Protein backbone atom coordinates (compact mmCIF):
# COMPACT_ATOMS: atom_id res chain seq x y z
CA UNK A 1 0.00 0.00 0.00
CA UNK A 2 1.41 3.38 -1.01
CA UNK A 3 1.36 6.04 1.67
CA UNK A 4 0.29 9.45 0.41
CA UNK A 5 0.43 12.75 2.27
CA UNK A 6 -2.92 13.88 3.59
CA UNK A 7 -4.34 17.34 2.95
CA UNK A 8 -4.80 19.68 5.89
CA UNK A 9 -8.38 20.52 4.89
CA UNK A 10 -9.38 16.89 5.49
CA UNK A 11 -8.66 17.23 9.21
CA UNK A 12 -10.76 19.14 11.72
CA UNK A 13 -9.00 20.98 14.55
CA UNK A 14 -10.17 20.02 18.02
CA UNK A 15 -11.48 22.96 20.06
CA UNK A 16 -12.32 23.34 23.74
CA UNK A 17 -16.07 23.26 23.08
CA UNK A 18 -15.74 19.75 21.63
CA UNK A 19 -13.73 18.66 24.66
CA UNK A 20 -16.41 20.14 26.93
CA UNK A 21 -18.96 17.87 25.26
CA UNK A 22 -16.94 14.83 26.28
CA UNK A 23 -15.72 15.65 29.79
CA UNK A 24 -18.18 14.44 32.42
CA UNK A 25 -18.60 16.75 35.41
CA UNK A 26 -19.77 14.89 38.55
CA UNK A 27 -23.43 15.26 39.54
CA UNK A 28 -25.37 14.57 42.74
CA UNK A 29 -26.35 11.04 41.73
CA UNK A 30 -22.80 9.98 40.91
CA UNK A 31 -20.72 7.48 42.81
CA UNK A 32 -17.24 6.13 42.14
CA UNK A 33 -18.56 3.52 39.72
CA UNK A 34 -20.69 5.90 37.68
CA UNK A 35 -17.70 8.22 37.37
CA UNK A 36 -15.82 5.42 35.64
CA UNK A 37 -13.48 2.59 36.61
CA UNK A 38 -10.17 2.30 34.78
CA UNK A 39 -8.04 -0.85 34.84
CA UNK A 40 -4.34 -0.19 34.33
CA UNK A 41 -2.11 -3.00 33.09
CA UNK A 42 0.95 -0.80 32.83
CA UNK A 43 4.50 -0.62 34.12
CA UNK A 44 6.98 -3.43 34.68
CA UNK A 45 10.11 -4.23 36.64
CA UNK A 46 12.03 -2.58 33.79
CA UNK A 47 9.88 0.56 33.62
CA UNK A 48 7.97 0.89 36.92
CA UNK A 49 7.51 4.64 36.52
CA UNK A 50 5.04 4.17 33.68
CA UNK A 51 2.58 2.58 36.09
CA UNK A 52 2.89 5.55 38.43
CA UNK A 53 2.37 8.03 35.60
CA UNK A 54 -0.69 6.30 34.14
CA UNK A 55 -2.19 6.13 37.62
CA UNK A 56 -1.40 9.77 38.34
CA UNK A 57 -3.00 10.84 35.08
CA UNK A 58 -6.11 8.70 35.53
CA UNK A 59 -6.68 9.96 39.07
CA UNK A 60 -6.09 13.60 38.18
CA UNK A 61 -8.37 13.47 35.14
CA UNK A 62 -11.23 12.47 37.41
CA UNK A 63 -11.59 8.69 37.41
CA UNK A 64 -14.06 7.36 39.95
CA UNK A 65 -11.77 4.40 40.62
CA UNK A 66 -8.41 3.29 39.30
CA UNK A 67 -7.52 -0.39 39.51
CA UNK A 68 -3.96 -1.58 38.96
CA UNK A 69 -2.76 -5.02 37.88
CA UNK A 70 0.97 -5.63 37.78
CA UNK A 71 3.97 -6.89 39.70
CA UNK A 72 3.70 -6.43 43.45
CA UNK A 73 6.85 -4.33 43.60
CA UNK A 74 5.49 -1.99 40.94
CA UNK A 75 2.11 -1.85 42.63
CA UNK A 76 3.77 -0.77 45.86
CA UNK A 77 5.40 2.10 43.98
CA UNK A 78 2.03 3.13 42.57
CA UNK A 79 0.36 3.00 45.97
CA UNK A 80 3.16 4.99 47.58
CA UNK A 81 2.34 7.88 45.24
CA UNK A 82 -1.39 7.28 44.73
CA UNK A 83 -2.87 5.43 47.72
CA UNK A 84 -6.34 5.84 46.16
CA UNK A 85 -5.51 3.16 43.58
CA UNK A 86 -6.98 -0.32 44.14
CA UNK A 87 -4.47 -3.12 43.56
CA UNK A 88 -6.25 -6.07 42.02
CA UNK A 89 -8.85 -7.09 39.49
CA UNK A 90 -12.56 -6.32 39.44
CA UNK A 91 -15.18 -4.74 37.22
CA UNK A 92 -13.98 -1.94 34.97
CA UNK A 93 -15.15 0.23 32.08
CA UNK A 94 -11.89 0.66 30.16
CA UNK A 95 -8.56 -1.15 30.02
CA UNK A 96 -5.26 0.69 29.57
CA UNK A 97 -2.50 -1.71 28.64
CA UNK A 98 1.10 -1.56 27.46
CA UNK A 99 2.65 1.62 28.83
CA UNK A 100 6.00 0.68 30.35
CA UNK A 101 5.79 -2.97 29.26
CA UNK A 102 8.73 -3.90 26.98
CA UNK A 103 6.90 -6.74 25.19
CA UNK A 104 3.40 -7.71 26.26
CA UNK A 105 3.74 -11.14 24.62
CA UNK A 106 6.06 -12.00 27.49
CA UNK A 107 3.80 -10.50 30.17
CA UNK A 108 1.16 -12.47 32.04
CA UNK A 109 -1.27 -9.56 31.68
CA UNK A 110 -1.43 -10.01 27.90
CA UNK A 111 -4.68 -11.98 28.10
CA UNK A 112 -6.46 -8.92 29.45
CA UNK A 113 -6.65 -7.39 25.99
CA UNK A 114 -8.49 -10.32 24.43
CA UNK A 115 -10.67 -10.62 27.53
CA UNK A 116 -11.71 -6.97 27.10
CA UNK A 117 -12.39 -7.41 23.40
CA UNK A 118 -14.50 -10.50 24.09
CA UNK A 119 -16.45 -8.62 26.78
CA UNK A 120 -17.02 -5.57 24.59
CA UNK A 121 -15.00 -3.32 26.90
CA UNK A 122 -12.92 -0.60 25.19
CA UNK A 123 -9.15 -0.75 25.53
CA UNK A 124 -6.37 1.79 25.13
CA UNK A 125 -3.33 -0.01 23.72
CA UNK A 126 0.05 1.66 24.07
CA UNK A 127 3.75 0.91 23.67
CA UNK A 128 4.62 -2.72 24.49
CA UNK A 129 1.07 -4.00 23.97
CA UNK A 130 0.93 -2.88 20.35
CA UNK A 131 2.48 -6.26 19.50
CA UNK A 132 -0.83 -7.87 20.56
CA UNK A 133 -2.88 -6.00 17.96
CA UNK A 134 -4.49 -7.85 15.08
CA UNK A 135 -6.81 -6.38 12.43
CA UNK A 136 -10.50 -6.38 13.27
CA UNK A 137 -10.33 -6.08 17.07
CA UNK A 138 -13.30 -3.83 17.95
CA UNK A 139 -13.34 -1.12 20.60
CA UNK A 140 -9.63 -0.37 20.53
CA UNK A 141 -7.69 2.86 20.55
CA UNK A 142 -4.03 2.47 19.72
CA UNK A 143 -1.60 5.27 20.60
CA UNK A 144 1.65 4.78 18.66
CA UNK A 145 4.26 7.28 17.64
CA UNK A 146 5.63 7.03 14.10
CA UNK A 147 8.27 4.37 14.81
CA UNK A 148 5.84 2.17 16.72
CA UNK A 149 3.25 2.37 13.95
CA UNK A 150 5.88 1.44 11.37
CA UNK A 151 6.88 -1.65 13.38
CA UNK A 152 3.25 -2.68 13.94
CA UNK A 153 2.21 -2.50 10.29
CA UNK A 154 5.36 -4.28 9.10
CA UNK A 155 4.81 -7.09 11.63
CA UNK A 156 1.29 -7.62 10.32
CA UNK A 157 2.42 -7.40 6.69
CA UNK A 158 -0.03 -4.58 6.05
CA UNK A 159 2.37 -1.81 4.97
CA UNK A 160 6.10 -1.23 4.61
CA UNK A 161 6.24 2.38 5.75
CA UNK A 162 9.29 3.86 7.44
CA UNK A 163 9.16 6.05 10.51
CA UNK A 164 9.99 9.06 8.34
CA UNK A 165 7.26 8.18 5.84
CA UNK A 166 4.70 8.12 8.65
CA UNK A 167 5.94 11.28 10.35
CA UNK A 168 5.79 13.24 7.10
CA UNK A 169 2.40 11.95 5.97
CA UNK A 170 0.45 14.77 7.70
CA UNK A 171 -1.95 12.30 9.20
CA UNK A 172 -2.25 10.11 6.14
CA UNK A 173 -0.66 7.20 7.98
CA UNK A 174 -3.13 7.47 10.85
CA UNK A 175 -6.09 7.38 8.48
CA UNK A 176 -4.72 4.49 6.43
CA UNK A 177 -3.73 2.51 9.52
CA UNK A 178 -7.22 2.93 10.97
CA UNK A 179 -8.70 1.47 7.80
CA UNK A 180 -6.20 -1.42 7.75
CA UNK A 181 -6.64 -2.29 11.42
CA UNK A 182 -10.31 -1.41 11.95
CA UNK A 183 -9.71 0.61 15.12
CA UNK A 184 -9.18 4.18 16.30
CA UNK A 185 -5.62 5.37 15.73
CA UNK A 186 -4.04 8.20 17.69
CA UNK A 187 -0.71 9.01 16.04
CA UNK A 188 1.38 10.95 18.53
CA UNK A 189 3.54 13.96 17.66
CA UNK A 190 3.64 17.76 17.86
CA UNK A 191 0.64 17.46 15.58
CA UNK A 192 -1.37 14.50 16.91
CA UNK A 193 -3.78 12.85 14.46
CA UNK A 194 -6.87 10.85 15.41
CA UNK A 195 -8.59 8.75 12.77
CA UNK A 196 -11.45 6.25 12.63
CA UNK A 197 -13.64 5.79 9.57
CA UNK A 198 -14.84 9.19 8.40
CA UNK A 199 -13.64 10.87 11.58
CA UNK A 200 -10.39 12.81 11.20
CA UNK A 201 -9.16 15.27 13.79
CA UNK A 202 -5.88 16.87 14.74
CA UNK A 203 -4.59 18.35 17.97
CA UNK A 204 -1.76 20.81 17.75
CA UNK A 205 0.36 21.17 20.88
CA UNK A 206 1.12 24.85 21.61
CA UNK A 207 4.80 24.09 22.29
CA UNK A 208 7.17 21.14 22.15
CA UNK A 209 8.00 20.67 25.84
CA UNK A 210 5.84 17.52 25.82
CA UNK A 211 8.57 15.74 23.87
CA UNK A 212 10.00 14.08 26.96
CA UNK A 213 9.92 10.61 28.50
CA UNK A 214 6.73 9.50 30.18
CA UNK A 215 4.27 11.94 28.66
CA UNK A 216 2.79 9.19 26.48
CA UNK A 217 2.03 7.24 29.66
CA UNK A 218 0.15 10.27 30.97
CA UNK A 219 -1.86 10.45 27.74
CA UNK A 220 -2.87 6.79 28.09
CA UNK A 221 -4.18 7.44 31.60
CA UNK A 222 -6.16 10.48 30.48
CA UNK A 223 -7.72 8.59 27.60
CA UNK A 224 -8.69 5.58 29.67
CA UNK A 225 -10.39 7.83 32.20
CA UNK A 226 -12.45 9.77 29.65
CA UNK A 227 -13.67 6.55 28.05
CA UNK A 228 -14.50 4.95 31.40
CA UNK A 229 -16.33 8.06 32.61
CA UNK A 230 -18.66 8.10 29.65
CA UNK A 231 -19.43 4.41 29.87
CA UNK A 232 -20.09 4.79 33.60
CA UNK A 233 -22.63 7.48 32.74
CA UNK A 234 -24.37 5.23 30.23
CA UNK A 235 -23.05 6.84 27.04
CA UNK A 236 -22.85 4.49 24.05
CA UNK A 237 -19.21 4.19 23.07
CA UNK A 238 -19.57 3.52 19.35
CA UNK A 239 -16.67 4.10 16.95
CA UNK A 240 -17.48 7.77 16.41
CA UNK A 241 -17.83 8.53 20.11
CA UNK A 242 -14.63 6.62 20.82
CA UNK A 243 -12.82 8.78 18.28
CA UNK A 244 -14.25 12.02 19.68
CA UNK A 245 -13.21 10.95 23.15
CA UNK A 246 -9.73 10.13 21.93
CA UNK A 247 -9.42 13.58 20.39
CA UNK A 248 -10.62 15.19 23.63
CA UNK A 249 -7.99 13.27 25.59
CA UNK A 250 -5.27 14.40 23.22
CA UNK A 251 -6.39 18.01 23.64
CA UNK A 252 -6.44 17.80 27.45
CA UNK A 253 -3.00 16.24 27.42
CA UNK A 254 -1.58 18.88 25.08
CA UNK A 255 -3.02 21.72 27.16
CA UNK A 256 -1.78 20.18 30.40
CA UNK A 257 1.70 20.11 28.89
CA UNK A 258 1.38 23.75 27.88
CA UNK A 259 0.00 24.78 31.27
CA UNK A 260 2.78 22.92 33.09
CA UNK A 261 5.38 24.64 30.92
CA UNK A 262 3.94 28.04 31.84
CA UNK A 263 3.82 27.20 35.55
CA UNK A 264 7.44 26.01 35.43
CA UNK A 265 8.43 29.31 33.85
CA UNK A 266 6.63 31.26 36.57
CA UNK A 267 3.96 32.57 34.20
CA UNK A 268 0.47 33.13 35.62
CA UNK A 269 -2.21 31.69 33.32
CA UNK A 270 -5.84 32.85 33.24
CA UNK A 271 -8.45 30.08 32.74
CA UNK A 272 -9.62 31.55 29.43
CA UNK A 273 -6.09 31.21 28.07
CA UNK A 274 -6.08 27.50 28.88
CA UNK A 275 -8.80 26.87 26.29
CA UNK A 276 -7.71 29.46 23.74
CA UNK A 277 -7.02 28.27 20.17
CA UNK A 278 -3.49 26.87 19.93
CA UNK A 279 -2.46 29.41 17.28
CA UNK A 280 -3.17 32.21 19.77
CA UNK A 281 -0.75 30.65 22.25
CA UNK A 282 2.12 30.62 19.75
CA UNK A 283 2.83 34.26 20.50
CA UNK A 284 2.80 33.89 24.28
CA UNK A 285 5.67 32.89 26.59
CA UNK A 286 7.54 29.81 25.42
CA UNK A 287 7.37 28.28 28.87
CA UNK A 288 9.90 26.04 30.54
CA UNK A 289 10.88 22.37 30.61
CA UNK A 290 8.35 19.92 32.00
CA UNK A 291 8.43 16.43 33.45
CA UNK A 292 5.70 13.92 32.71
CA UNK A 293 4.60 14.17 36.34
CA UNK A 294 4.23 17.95 35.89
CA UNK A 295 1.79 17.27 33.05
CA UNK A 296 -0.28 14.96 35.24
CA UNK A 297 -0.23 17.57 38.00
CA UNK A 298 -1.61 20.20 35.60
CA UNK A 299 -4.56 18.11 34.42
CA UNK A 300 -7.11 19.23 37.07
CA UNK A 301 -6.54 22.86 36.11
CA UNK A 302 -7.19 22.11 32.46
CA UNK A 303 -10.31 20.06 33.21
CA UNK A 304 -11.61 22.85 35.46
CA UNK A 305 -11.01 25.48 32.76
CA UNK A 306 -12.87 23.39 30.18
CA UNK A 307 -15.85 22.77 32.48
CA UNK A 308 -16.04 26.49 33.28
CA UNK A 309 -16.07 27.48 29.61
Q: Which residues are annotated as a binding site for AMP?
A: 188-192, 216
Q: Which residues are annotated as a binding site?
A: 50, 100, 145, 188-192, 216-217
Whole-angstrom distance, CA of residue 30 vs CA of residue 26: 6
Whole-angstrom distance, CA of residue 116 vs CA of residue 7: 35
What lies within 8 Å, CB to CB, of 286 at 6+ separation is 207, 261, 265
Backbone angles phi, psi at 67, to 5 degrees: -100, 145
CA torsion 126→127→128→129, rounded to 10°? 20
Q: Are 59 and 114 in contact (CB under 8 A)?
A: no
Whole-angstrom distance, CA of residue 80 vs CA of residue 95: 22
Q: Which residues are annotated as a binding site for (6S)-NADPHX?
A: 50, 100, 145, 217
Whole-angstrom distance, CA of residue 249 vs CA of residue 254: 9
Amino acid sequence: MILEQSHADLWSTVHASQVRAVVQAPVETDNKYRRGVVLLATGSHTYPGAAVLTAQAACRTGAGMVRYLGPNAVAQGVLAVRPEVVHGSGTYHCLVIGSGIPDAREDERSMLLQDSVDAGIPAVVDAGALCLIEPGMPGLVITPHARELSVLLKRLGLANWSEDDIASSRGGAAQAASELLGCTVLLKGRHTYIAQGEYRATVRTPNSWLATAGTGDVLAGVLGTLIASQIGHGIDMDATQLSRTTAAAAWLHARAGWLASQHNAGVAVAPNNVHAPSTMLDHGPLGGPVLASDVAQALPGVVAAVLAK
